[in-house]
């Protein structure tokens, strides 16, 4: 019932599964085994929603739009159990029918019939069928790999920009795989990653552990859950050049604060100061909690990053380093936030790129001469990466100098990264690097 409730909340109220699920698990007092099953059912179903809808449509003989949404959620959960888990067929069908009786009693027979039909074929056979029913090659990819067609095309364009278009299927498969839990050990405050667990391949602050929640709990905020790519994005700014004591740093769009905490630890070690800004008050409070374990006074401001005034932060001459982790479609984190693929649409991109440009202009204007801006997105969409950045560089003209970001990131990484492009930017990938698809670009103000 926990997985069903989370799916319903995601559908009805645009809830975020990664925020809601832990609360529902705790409230239901699930055992570790039941909590693991609820997690797999929730995330697995959300990731493969498009695939299951295509299969259910064939099994039911009707478009899923004609099925009541709560009943459709029951069918999706049942299909996931039948086709992607080791739950016995009779248990998956019987539990789904029992759930249907609770949410829409009249649909129990329908749910039983559809899931019995689904159970009669292997997953590979269903994939072949839904691919055959698709009207185009992209529609077949979308159905089989459970990504909207527009996302398929955006990801292909981003890979082809690197002459890596043949990696598309590997990327789609990586988006649908359960990611490992990455941890960040705040430098100078937590033990060495090699002491805490297995060091990550690239981020010098990163690690994985057999029991990550235990490691986090034992280190009082000095070790936190954070994707390795997110760590590399923050470290690219803090380690682009040696820190001069007294430098002023700013995190423009700081919520929820993971990168801010890492920057705070780096600023503390180098004798710099750090301010943070976040437009949403609730997210600003998350930033305050994130930086609390760092013994550095980090002022967290609530305001629109497009209205930056360095003097209001006490930095009359501007900031020496600014991180702009710009709002984006989030297509780079579909492994961890699978519902994002179903929420965004192509029309969102134009609005977001306009916002990214306005934020970038404000951040660049707030830099001191010689200061460095890190433009970061958790999206590989070319309009949000090279498009937004390229237009900003054109507006800034000779006052901006693109830094060899690839050299910076390679220089701080523990092992060489397989990167493509001209070096001015870095695009990370789930299938190639095991990270979220973070885009990183460093720009210096002349």
Q: Give the full edge-to-edge strand order of the sheet including 223-225.
A: 198-199, 206-208, 183-185, 223-225
Q: How far apart are CA 426 and CA 439, in angstroms?
A: 6
Residues 46 and 83: beta-carbon distance below 8 Å: no
- Distances 111 to 106, 134, 207, 229, 371 between C-alpha atoms, Å: 10, 24, 43, 42, 61
Cα 232 from Cα 409, distance rounded (Å): 7
Q: Report the catalytic residues.
A: 378
CA pair distance 54, 288, nearest whole angstrom: 44
**Closest-CA residue to 226 (of 209, 243, 206):** 206
5 upstream amide cis, omega within 30 of 0: no
**CA 60 vs CA 64, 65, 343: distances in Å:** 8, 12, 25
Q: Is residue 125 within a helix (H) or strand (E), and if so which, with residue range?
A: helix 123-133
Identify the CA nearest to 55 among candidates 168, 111, 1, 131.
131
Task: Indicate the helix (H) or strand (E) that contains 19.
Answer: helix 17-28
Strand segments (E) across 291-446: 299-302, 319-325, 367-377, 400-402, 425-427, 439-445
CA-based angle 203:321:256, to the nearest 5? 60
Q: What is the 3-state secondary structure (H, E, C) of 283-300?
A: HHHHHHHHHCCCCCCCEE
Burial class (CB in 10 A: 0-12, 13-18, 19+), 390: middle
Structure tokens at 38: 């609820």
Query: How far from 273 is each of 238, 266, 267, 297, CA to CA, in Å?
Result: 12, 10, 6, 8
Tell me how far apart the terminal alpha carbons of the chain are, to the nearest angstrom: 58
């Amino acid at each position: 019932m926990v997985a069903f409730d989370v799916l319903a909340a995601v559908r009805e109220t645009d809830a975020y599964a990664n925020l809601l699920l832990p609360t529902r698990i705790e409230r239901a007092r699930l055992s570790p085994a039941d909590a693991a099953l609820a997690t797999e059912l929730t995330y697995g179903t959300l990731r493969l929603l498009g695939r299951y809808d295509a299969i259910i449509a064939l099994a039911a003989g009707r478009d899923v739009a004609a099925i009541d949404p709560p009943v459709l959620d029951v069918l999706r959960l049942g299909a996931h159990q039948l086709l992607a888990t080791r739950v016995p067929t009779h248990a998956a069908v019987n539990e789904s029918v029992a759930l249907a009786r609770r949410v829409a009693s009249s649909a129990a027979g329908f749910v039983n019939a559809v899931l019995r039909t689904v159970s009669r074929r292997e997953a590979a056979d269903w994939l072949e069928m839904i691919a055959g029913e698709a009207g185009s090659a992209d529609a077949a990819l979308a159905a089989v790999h459970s990504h909207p067609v527009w996302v398929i095309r955006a990801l292909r364009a981003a890979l082809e920009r690197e002459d890596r278009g043949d990696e598309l299927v590997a990327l789609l498969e990586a988006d649908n795989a359960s990611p490992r839990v990455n941890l960040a050990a705040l430098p100078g405050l937590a033990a060495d990653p090699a002491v805490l667990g297995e060091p990550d391949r690239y981020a010098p602050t990163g690690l994985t552990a057999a029991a990550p929640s235990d490691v986090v709990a034992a280190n009082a905020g000095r070790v936190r859950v954070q994707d390795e790519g997110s760590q590399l994005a923050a470290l690219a700014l803090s380690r682009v050049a040696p820190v001069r004591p007294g430098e002023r740093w700013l995190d423009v769009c700081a919520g929820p604060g993971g990168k801010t905490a890492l920057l705070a630890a780096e600023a503390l070690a180098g004798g710099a100061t750090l301010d943070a800004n976040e437009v949403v008050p609730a997210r600003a409070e998350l930033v305050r909690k994130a930086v609390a374990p760092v013994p550095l006074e980090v002022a967290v401001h609530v305001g629109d990053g497009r209205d930056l005034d360095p003097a209001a932060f006490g930095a009359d001459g501007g900031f020496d380093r600014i991180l702009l982790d710009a709002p984006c479609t989030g297509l780079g984190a579909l492994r961890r936030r699978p519902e994002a693929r179903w929420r965004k649409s192509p029309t969102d991109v134009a609005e977001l790129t306009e916002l990214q440009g306005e934020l970038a202009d404000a951040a660049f204007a707030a830099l001191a001469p010689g200061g460095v801006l890190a433009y970061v997105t958790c999206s590989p969409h070319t309009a949000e990466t090279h498009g937004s950045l390229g237009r900003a560089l054109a507006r800034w003209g000779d006052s901006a100098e693109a830094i060899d970001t690839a050299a910076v990131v390679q220089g701080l990484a523990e092992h060489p990264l397989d990167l493509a492009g001209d070096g001015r930017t870095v695009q990370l990938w789930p299938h190639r690097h095991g990270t979220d698809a973070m885009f990183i670009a460093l720009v210096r103000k002349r």
